């Protein structure tokens, strides 16, 4: 009651309290609650900008402009291009998302023969997975991830089986047609057919079809650039950055940092120009009192501009009475530039969810600080990787297994559980080691004490355990054939090293002779 008494009663409050004290108390309590949310009340110092637009209306007004700004920054700003590359490399990496088939028999065991056949066909398909046959599978993943993060979304049409004029160029007849978001027009609407922003949906909001241009808009060689075709949703993969429930189209991940990146670019350009001006030596002759000036031609001669030549260690003795030489100092370079740039880049890294050290290329911190930063940021990379796998890589793998089965290239065995035929383990990028020696020692202790497995260590290092085991087996078989013995063959056991290989019979005969 002491807190409520601080609220000043107006005339209406007094009237309500006089007529009904209980209603007056409730009115006073409600006003007290409203007063707690000061951030909701606009003031002279705080404008309180709000946005109550529906999600699709918000995207309609800003997504296209943000897409163009993000593309311009990638093309012309080194920091923005490096930040985008950092995100893509940490989400997809140089080898793409690894896939380990996990089909299971009806008794629950993994069907090794079927998994091996899928891996073999998959390696062949990775060479030409898309219709232009210009990019291998790892490059396709990086292109899709870059388009998704920069533009906010990316599309891919799935083409299975015989398609007119299309050569799959792989054993499994399955190809992808990569589509930029420009080809799905944001301004294509049809209320009668429930089409909004180029996406046709049912009453529950589930996409049923996409309307796409037949060629890239504005292409001068094409006469059908603005002709639309309907693509059924079952034939389209759509990966998008969706921030709100009910949102149809994606928005660039750079939306919240574009202004800051442009400010950094403009500020650095101004400082570069100022530094170039400062590098140009500029001097002036300062005269004394007005009587030291002589009018041109007063002594019968027309005096033109004077030229003073500078050289190291020279002495100027040609100055007139009251004259002295002054230098123009622009106070450049600015000593605060580095501090300002670091602060802005930290804000950019926070907005993008990337690592400041990687975006700014600043690795001046200690081992502990860099590892803490990497551990925290890696969670964001893992989230992006999960979205990328769930929206693109996993659906593509399901299509591949289906196409391999229907085409007869890799038919599903009868003893495989049909519900598990496309099960797989998707392996993303692993967190890199800052200090390999310390990391290796830690993992070695965990494996020895039974808190981790060798397979987990291999995957943390970004390797495929199956490939590693096959390489080790092949290497050791070759070593045995050549009689080579390594310390790793008997490990840390106290057993004696294996005896050297016996001398070949032909060499023994040569020794006896």
Mean pLDDT in runs of 10 for the chain (513 residues)?
Answer: 56 80 80 66 72 87 92 92 92 90 90 93 95 94 96 95 92 95 92 92 93 83 78 94 92 92 89 78 68 57 62 70 69 78 88 85 77 81 93 96 95 92 88 78 87 80 76 82 71 48 47 46
Helix (H) or strand (E) holding 426: strand 424-427
Q: How many CB atoms lie within 10 A of CB 218?
A: 10
Question: Is the peptide bond prior to 424 cis by the omega test (within 30 degrees of 0)?
Answer: no
Q: What is the pLDDT of residue 3?
A: 44
Q: Which domain holds residue 488?
A: 451-513
Within a 13 Å sphere around the CA of 252, how many CA atoms are in the beta-carbon half?
A: 25
Q: Does residue 462 share a domain with residue 369?
A: no
- Residue 328 is assigned to a structural domain of this protein: no
Q: What is the DSSP letter of 440?
A: H
- Residue 398 is assigned to a structural domain of this protein: yes
Q: Does residue 25 share a domain with residue 70?
A: no
- Residue 304 is assigned to a structural domain of this protein: no
Task: Go through 175-203 and write b for each residue having 16 or more CB atoms within 10 A of its CB, e for each that does not.
Answer: bbbbbebbbbbbebeeeeeebbbbbbbee
Q: What is the pLDDT of residue 493?
A: 46
Q: Give the Cα separation of 197 and 182 in Å (integer).
A: 11
Closest among 147, 79, 100 to 360, alpha carbons compared: 79
Helix (H) or strand (E) holding 71: helix 55-76
- Residue 313 is assigned to a structural domain of this protein: no
Q: Does residue 33 share a domain with residue 88?
A: no
Q: Does residue 280 share a domain with residue 394?
A: yes
Q: Does residue 78 share a domain with residue 23?
A: no
Q: Does residue 470 share a domain with residue 428?
A: no
Q: Does residue 102 share a domain with residue 8?
A: no
Q: What is the pLDDT of residue 222?
A: 64
Q: What is the pLDDT of residue 52?
A: 82
Q: What is the pLDDT of residue 24?
A: 79
Q: What is the pLDDT of residue 299?
A: 55
The dihedral built from the CA positions of residue 17, 19, 22 and 28, taken in this order, carries a sign that is: negative
Q: Does residue 363 share a domain with residue 275?
A: yes
Q: Give the Cα separation of 166 and 161 in Å (integer).
A: 10
Cβ–Cβ under 8 Å, residues 161 and 170: no
- Residue 296 is assigned to a structural domain of this protein: no
Q: What is the DSSP letter of 223?
A: S
Q: Does residue 165 share a domain with residue 72?
A: yes
- Residue 390 is assigned to a structural domain of this protein: yes
Q: What is the pLDDT of residue 37?
A: 65
Q: Check: pTM over 0.85? Answer yes or no.
A: no
Q: What is the pLDDT of residue 18?
A: 78
Cβ–Cβ under 8 Å, residues 432 and 370: no
Q: What is the pLDDT of residue 69?
A: 94
Q: Does residue 337 share a domain with residue 212?
A: yes
Q: How many domains does the chain have?
A: 3
- Residue 239 is assigned to a structural domain of this protein: yes
Q: Does residue 105 share a domain with residue 170?
A: yes
Q: What is the pLDDT of residue 125?
A: 96
Closest among 426, 377, 375 to 397, alpha carbons compared: 426
- Residue 417 is assigned to a structural domain of this protein: yes
């Amino acid at each position: 009651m002491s807190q409520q008494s601080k609220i000043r009663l107006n005339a209406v409050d007094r009237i309500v309290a006089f007529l009904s004290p209980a209603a007056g108390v409730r009115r006073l309590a409600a006003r007290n609650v409203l007063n707690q949310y000061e951030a909701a009340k606009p003031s002279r110092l705080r404008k309180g900008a709000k946005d109550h637009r529906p999600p699709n209306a918000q995207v309609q007004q800003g997504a296209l402009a943000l897409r163009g700004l993000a593309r311009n920054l990638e093309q012309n700003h080194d920091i923005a291009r490096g930040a985008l590359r950092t995100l893509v490399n940490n989400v997809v990496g140089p080898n793409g998302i690894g896939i380990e088939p996990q089909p299971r028999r009806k008794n629950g065991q993994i069907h090794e023969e079927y998994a091996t056949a899928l891996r073999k066909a998959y390696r062949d398909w990775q060479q030409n997975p898309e219709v232009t046959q210009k990019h291998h599978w790892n490059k396709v993943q990086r292109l899709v991830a870059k388009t998704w993060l920069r533009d906010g979304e990316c599309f891919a049409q799935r083409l299975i089986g015989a398609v007119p004029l299309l050569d799959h160029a792989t054993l499994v007849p399955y190809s992808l047609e990569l589509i930029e978001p420009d080809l799905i027009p944001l301004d294509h609407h049809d209320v009668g057919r429930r089409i909004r922003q180029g996406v046709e949906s049912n009453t529950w909001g589930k996409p049923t079809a996409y309307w796409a241009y037949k060629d890239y808009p504005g292409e001068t060689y094409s006469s059908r650039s603005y002709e639309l075709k309907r693509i059924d949703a079952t034939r389209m993969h759509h990966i998008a950055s969706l921030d709100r429930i009910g949102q149809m189209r994606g928005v660039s991940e750079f939306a919240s940092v574009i202004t800051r990146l442009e400010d950094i670019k403009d500020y650095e350009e101004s400082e570069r120009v100022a530094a170039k001006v400062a590098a140009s030596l500029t001097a002036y002759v300062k005269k004394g009192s007005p009587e030291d000036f002589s009018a041109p031609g007063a002594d019968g001669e027309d005096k033109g501009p004077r030229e003073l030549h500078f050289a190291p260690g020279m002495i100027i003795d040609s100055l007139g009475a009251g004259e002295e030489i002054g230098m123009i100092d622009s106070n450049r370079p600015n000593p605060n530039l580095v501090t300002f740039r670091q602060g802005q880049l930290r804000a950019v890294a926070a907005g993008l969810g990337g690592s400041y050290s990687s975006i700014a290329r600043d690795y001046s911190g200690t081992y502990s600080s860099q590892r803490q930063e990497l551990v925290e940021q890696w969670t964001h990379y893992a989230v992006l990787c999960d979205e990328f796998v769930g929206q693109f890589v996993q659906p593509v793998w399901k299509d591949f297994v289906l196409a391999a089965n229907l085409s007869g290239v890799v038919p599903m065995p009868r003893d495989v559980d049909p519900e598990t035929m496309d099960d797989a383990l998707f392996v993303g990028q692993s967190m890199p080691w800052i200090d390999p020696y310390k990391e290796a020692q830690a993992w070695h202790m965990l494996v020895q004490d039974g808190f981790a497995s060798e397979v987990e260590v291999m995957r943390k290092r970004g390797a495929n355990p199956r490939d590693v085991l096959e390489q080790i087996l092949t290497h050791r078989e070759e070593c045995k054939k050549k009689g080579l013995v390594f310390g790793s063959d008997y490990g840390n056991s106290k057993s004696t090293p294996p005896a050297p290989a016996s001398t070949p019979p032909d060499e023994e005969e040569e020794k006896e002779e």
